[in-house]
């Protein structure tokens, strides 16, 4: 209840001020009707939105964007098109109903999340633009200039100012701004309005006795002009709408679309702030539906449209109102205040309400945006904000939003074009597959590695980044025959990016090479199915289509074997069984030593996928591969495994447990096609080495040499992975 009361004290005066701003654009005599519209709007919005939205602590009321759009529409219809007030009000009701329908439709088709992604430069610019529009509209009321006088004429002609109006407005502004320094128990607008009333009556009693009447007094709201019951008002609204034509819908639809967009953004922005305060999470789509329903009722009862408002919401939450009931009670209190205090509302000075709105407008301006001018990197962001503000003042708010979004997109594309989509770029001499090759094959790959290039890409490959990628790859294409693009970190590829793949592949194919793709993103819900897209555009079909590999390891194996084959080496897995003397580990032993070692080595055959050993096994055996391949797999949380490396014929593995007799640290499984192994236990090896020390020195020397090579290889890969 206390949260609802505090929120009402903030929302009601502002709502009345916004209502007056809207209706005085029709005629100065409509100020009373505007006060009624503001109060009824606050009541209708408060009674409906909490029940439909169920967003705890949320307060909905007439707001600045609604006042800016609706007052602009009212002025255009009444002044520029010369329509009578009754028809203008009917068209404004139609605008509010169309806005409500658009909000409900946006919620039903789940557009709530999309509205949140409007660039902040646009939000800053349109809020600043709305603030400037409000300030321009309220300055004449603050100064009390004659109705109908041009703004420039009124501002530059002090003799036309009203001293009492200016004094009351100045007192209201000062009190509103200084009130938080004195007390936070009573909202600043209430203090400002109260002292503005005191100043008005003091001037009337002491200096200007004619101010003590509401009849023909342009400085106060005057008679509210509320006639008939609520049902009668609704019936009158419906009758006025029935007289409208389809052409009238087309006339006000742009304003309705602008209003729906701005009110939705304002609502969802307030919802995000409220989520932070209450550590909750609102349903943005349900909130849009609730806002649309409450705006529809507000329009039917003659109230001003609105949105979730930051000020009353923050006051409500900090005062303890954390449930939808506080929002409902706020609407009920607004209605009771209107019904019981209508005679008092007639005495509110217009300049006092103008002062409150000028404070609101001042706070809406994003003054921090001027800091962007200090740095060259942020001046373009300021230019976007300035363009939105200028367009809002010169053309309209919806056009300003379109201009802002378009400029923000251009800035994003510009930033993407200046950044590279290449994460890392390495030749085959700097990177290798997970297959451990014999030393002499590695020497060849190091010498001829410039023929193949691995390019790791990141981000989005679209028309804004493809030219930069092509320029960065151009120097390498003079010497490279094969290019492997790792797409694991790519989020999307457009038609321009796909066309670049085709151009690169044809260029490489002309020199006897080709383009390879690996790590195609396809299963993540936030990523495009790149492989399917490339198939759809015809890049993967036919004999000259681009080769696709599931993993980068498979693609690197393919590259290594092609480079070795082109150097005259027939690489790959040999189906012939290797003898013990063919193993690199024991290549320095004589016939007698080999014979002794073969007597203690077991021969083992494993089918594809059969486990050699598992992580945690207690074992001291060393394995030498006679035929096939063995995959080493590291256990990960969640029953997942990471492919560390693959050993081929002539290689050895398992040396860590052989040396330190500790438990195995990874899994070893036979690869595709199975494998044949020599198995040498440490216990039996030590018995042979004791009788023949040459075996011990030769084997341990080879183990040390192989270990150093593997460490150097790992060192090189870690160096290339380091990013600074």
CA dihedral 42, 45, 49, 55 (to 10 degrees): -20
Cα 47 to Cα 66: distance, rounded to the nearest angstrom: 19
Q: How many CA atoms lie less than 13 Å away from 506 in the CB half-sphere?
A: 7
Write the pLDDT tens digit of every residue in 607-647: 999 999 999 999 899 999 999 999 999 888 877 788 888 99
pLDDT score of 199: 95
Closest by CA to 10, choosing from 174, 186, 170, is: 186
Which residue has tokens 């009203």? Answer: 162
Which pLDDT band, with edges at 50, 70 and 90, does 42 fall under? very high
382 φ, ψ (degrees, to nearest 5):
-65, -35
Cα 15 to Cα 307: distance, rounded to the nearest angstrom: 11
Q: Which two tokens stand for residue 496?
A: 């321009």
| Cα Rg, the chain, nearest whole Å | 39
Write the pLDDT tens digit of every residue in 126-147: 778 888 888 888 898 898 887 6
pLDDT score of 571: 54
pLDDT above 70 coverage of the chain, percent = 94
Domains and CATH numbers, the chain: 2-406 (no CATH), 419-566 (3.30.750.24), 580-721 (2.60.120.10)
Cα 156 to Cα 169: distance, rounded to the nearest angstrom: 18
pLDDT score of 224: 66
- Hey, is 89 helix, strand or coil? helix
pLDDT above 90 coverage of the chain, percent = 34
In this model, does residue 400 exceed pLDDT 90? no
DSSP readout, 634-665? Answer: EEETTTEEEEEEEE-TT-EE-HHHHHH-PBPS
Cα 377 to Cα 130: distance, rounded to the nearest angstrom: 27
pLDDT score of 102: 96
Cα 626 to Cα 603: distance, rounded to the nearest angstrom: 9
504 Cβ neighbours under 8 A, 6+ residues apart: 470, 473, 477, 483, 515
Closest by CA to 514, choosing from 545, 493, 554, is: 545
Cα 20 to Cα 548: distance, rounded to the nearest angstrom: 67
In this model, does residue 437 exceed pLDDT 60? yes
Contact 547, 485 (CB under 8 A): no
Closest by CA to 36, choosing from 281, 330, 329, 342, is: 342
Cα 360 to Cα 127: distance, rounded to the nearest angstrom: 11
Cα 679 to Cα 598: distance, rounded to the nearest angstrom: 10
Identify the weakest region by mean pLDDT among 323-332, 441-450, 610-619. 441-450
pLDDT score of 633: 92
Closest by CA to 219, choosing from 20, 73, 9, is: 20
Closest by CA to 497, choosing from 532, 528, 534, 525, is: 534
Write the pLDDT tens digit of every residue in 467-486: 888 889 999 988 899 999 99
- Hey, is 620 helix, strand or coil? coil
Between CA 455 and CA 460, with CA 458 as vertex, the angle to 5 degrees is 125
In this model, does residue 525 exceed pLDDT 50? no
Q: Which two tokens stand for residue 85?
A: 């007030």
554 Cβ neighbours under 8 A, 6+ residues apart: 518
For residues 685-706, b (16+ Cβ closer than 10 Å) or e, as one string?
beebbeebeebbebbeebbeeb
Which pLDDT band, with edges at 50, 70 and 90, does 279 fall under? confident
The pTM of this model reads 0.62
Q: Report CA-CA distances (Å) from 632 to 434, 437, 645, 646, 647.
A: 9, 14, 5, 6, 8
Q: How many CA atoms lie less than 13 Å away from 102 in the CB half-sphere?
A: 18
The full 3-state SS of 452-503, as one line of letters, equals EEEEEEEEEECCCCHHHHHHHHCCHHHCCCEEEEEEEEEEEECHHHHHHHHH
pLDDT score of 686: 93
Q: Which two tokens stand for residue 446?
A: 């190091």
Which pLDDT band, with edges at 50, 70 and 90, does 524 fall under? very low
Which residues are registered as beta bridge partners of 635?
Answer: 641
Mean pLDDT over the full length of the chain: 86
pLDDT score of 670: 95
Identify the weakest region by mean pLDDT among 91-105, 375-389, 661-675. 375-389
Write the pLDDT tens digit of every residue in 194-253: 999 999 999 999 988 888 888 888 888 877 655 445 666 677 777 888 888 889 999 999
Write the pLDDT tens digit of every residue in 534-555: 887 777 765 667 888 888 888 9
């Amino acid at each position: 209840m206390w949260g609802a009361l505090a929120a009402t004290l903030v929302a009601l005066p502002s709502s009345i001020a916004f209502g007056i701003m809207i209706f005085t654009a029709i005629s100065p005599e409509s100020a009373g009707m505007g006060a009624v519209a503001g109060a009824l709007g606050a009541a209708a919005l408060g009674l409906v939105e909490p029940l439909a939205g169920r967003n705890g602590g949320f307060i909905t009321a007439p707001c600045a964007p609604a006042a800016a759009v609706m007052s602009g529409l009212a002025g255009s219809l009444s002044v520029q098109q010369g329509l009578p007030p009754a028809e203008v009000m009917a068209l404004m009701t139609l605008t509010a109903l169309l806005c409500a329908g658009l909000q409900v439709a946006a919620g039903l088709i789940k557009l709530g999340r999309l509205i949140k992604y409007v660039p902040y430069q646009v939000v800053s610019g349109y809020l600043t633009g709305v603030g400037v529009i409000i300030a321009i509209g309220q300055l004449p009321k603050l100064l009390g200039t004659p109705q109908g006088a041009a703004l420039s004429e009124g501002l530059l002609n002090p003799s036309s100012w009203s001293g009492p109006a200016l004094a009351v407005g100045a007192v209201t502004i000062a009190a509103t701004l200084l009130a938080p320094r004195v007390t936070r128990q009573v909202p600043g607008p209430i203090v400002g309005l109260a002292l503005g009333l005191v100043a008005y009556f003091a001037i009337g009693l002491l200096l200007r006795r004619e101010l003590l009447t509401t009849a023909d007094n342009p400085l106060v709201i005057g008679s509210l002009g509320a006639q008939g019951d609520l049902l009668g008002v609704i019936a009158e609204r419906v009758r006025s709408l029935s007289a409208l034509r389809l052409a009238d819908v087309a006339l006000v639809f742009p304003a309705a679309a602008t209003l729906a967009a701005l009110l939705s953004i304002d609502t969802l922005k307030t919802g995000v702030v409220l989520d932070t305060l209450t550590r909750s999470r609102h349903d943005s789509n349900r909130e849009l539906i609730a806002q649309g329903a409450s705006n529809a009722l507000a329009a039917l009862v003659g109230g001003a449209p609105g949105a979730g408002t930051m000020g009353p919401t923050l006051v409500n939450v900090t005062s303890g109102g954390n449930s939808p009931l506080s929002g409902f009670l706020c609407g009920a209190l607004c209605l009771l205040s209107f019904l019981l205090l209508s005679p008092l509302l007639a005495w509110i000075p217009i300049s006092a309400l103008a002062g409150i709105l000028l404070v609101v407008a001042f706070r809406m301006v994003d003054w921090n945006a001027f800091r962007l001018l200090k740095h060259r990197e942020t001046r373009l962001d300021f230019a976007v904000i300035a363009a939105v503000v200028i367009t809002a003042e010169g053309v309209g708010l919806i056009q300003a939003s379109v201009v802002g979004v378009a400029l923000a997109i251009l800035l994003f594309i510009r930033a993407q074009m200046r950044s590279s989509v290449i994460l890392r770029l390495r030749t085959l001499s700097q990177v290798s597959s997970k297959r451990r090759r014999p030393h002499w094959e590695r020497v060849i790959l190091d010498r001829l590695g410039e023929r193949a290039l691995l390019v790791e890409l990141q981000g989005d490959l679209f028309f804004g980044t493809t030219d930069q990628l092509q320029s960065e790859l151009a120097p390498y294409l003079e010497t490279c025959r094969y290019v492997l693009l790792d797409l694991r970190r790519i989020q999307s590829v457009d038609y321009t990016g796909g066309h670049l793949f085709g151009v690169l592949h044809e260029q490489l194919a002309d020199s006897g090479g080709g383009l390879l793709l690996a790590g195609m993103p396809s299963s993540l819900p936030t990523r495009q199915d790149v492989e399917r897209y490339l198939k759809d555009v015809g890049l993967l079909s036919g004999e000259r289509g681009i080769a696709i590999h599931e993993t980068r390891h498979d693609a690197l194996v393919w590259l290594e074997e092609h480079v070795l084959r082109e150097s005259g080496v027939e690489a790959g897995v040999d189906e012939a069984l290797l003898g013990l003397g063919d193993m690199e580990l024991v290549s320095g032993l004589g016939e007698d030593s080999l014979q002794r070692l073969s007597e203690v080595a077991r021969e083992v055959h494993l089918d594809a996928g059969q486990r050699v050993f598992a992580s945690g096994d207690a074992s001291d055996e060393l394995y030498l591969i006679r035929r096939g391949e063995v995959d080493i797999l590291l256990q990960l949380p969640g029953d997942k495994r990471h492919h560390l490396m693959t050993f081929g014929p002539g290689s050895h593995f398992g040396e860590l447990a052989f040396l330190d007799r500790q438990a195995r640290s990874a899994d070893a499984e036979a690869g595709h096609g199975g494998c044949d192994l020599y198995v040498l236990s440490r216990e039996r090896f030590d018995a042979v080495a004791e009788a023949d020390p040459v075996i011990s020195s030769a084997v341990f020397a080879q183990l040390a040499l192989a270990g150093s090579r593997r460490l150097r290889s790992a060192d090189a890969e870690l160096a290339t992975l380091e990013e600074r």
